[in-house]
Amino acid sequence: MIIMKRLLLLLSLTFTFAASAFSQEFYGGLILGGTVSQVGGDSRGGYHKAGIVGGAFAGLNISDDFDIQMELKYIQKGSYSGDLENDPLAPFRIKLDYVDLPVVVSYSLNKININGVNLRWLKLEAGLSLDVLINFRQDIRGETVPETADPWRRLVANTVLGVRFCVNDDIEIGLRTINAMTSICNPSKSPNYDGNVSYVQRLLPYYGMFNDVLQLSMFWKL
């Protein structure tokens, strides 16, 4: 919790500095949406775990084409299997709740025209995020695993890629894929998980214990 408090303080100071130094280009707003997720490496593929996401964002217009945006949000991730016939551990669920701190750069396609249609309503985005674990729960065969069996790492780094559709000047709809770069669990505490996978192996087609999330959300500028 001390780490999370320091991160929140750092983010608040960053927002305050940005607001004072770039008041004309500074903007902020709220985020609300949903997620579907899986845990790569738990032998249960598929985005079957639904969740919610909500928080706030602040950004700067760097130029007519580029924005940089910082966010502070609550996001639910994990894994779910209800396949009673093929999964001996079903009903199986991993529920991981995080405070997520992304920094994302977006690029507006306002200078691109296709068949006479300007794409100013479309943005591409990429960035990095840091997850801070605040709550967890695991169910095996419908029974909750005691919290003393805690293999989950408190900090997880992710890549962020996405597109945004500008509904109007104040509302954008975003679709993102958020993929962990670091293992979400400590395999030494839970021998049932193969989570000891390096960052290089994650970049290659290797599976460890990694959160994979699809996020659909609304960004509302205030």
* pLDDT band per the 50, 70, 90 thresholds, residue 150: confident
* Closest C-alpha among 10, 57, 211, 157 to residue 2: 10
85 has pLDDT over 70: no
Domains of the chain by residue range: 2-221
The two structure tokens encoding residue 34: 């949903």
Which letter, b or e, does each residue of 59-82 get, where b requires 16 or more Cβ atoms within 10 Å of its Cβ?
bbeeeeeebebbbbbbbbbbbbbe
Provide, rounded to the nearest whole percent, the portion of the chain with pLDDT above 70. 76
d(CA 175, CA 8): 25
6 has pLDDT over 90: no
63-83 pLDDT, tens digit each: 889 999 999 999 999 998 877
pLDDT of residue 126: 98
The two structure tokens encoding residue 113: 């025209």
| CATH number of the 2-221 domain | 2.40.160.20
User: What is each CA distance from 163 to 12, 33, 54, in whole angstroms?
Assistant: 26, 15, 18
**Residue with the larger pLDDT of the pair 130 and 204:** 130
The two structure tokens encoding residue 104: 């994302």
For the chain, first and last CA: distance in Å?
30
The two structure tokens encoding residue 164: 């945004």
Q: Is the pTM of this model over 0.75?
A: yes
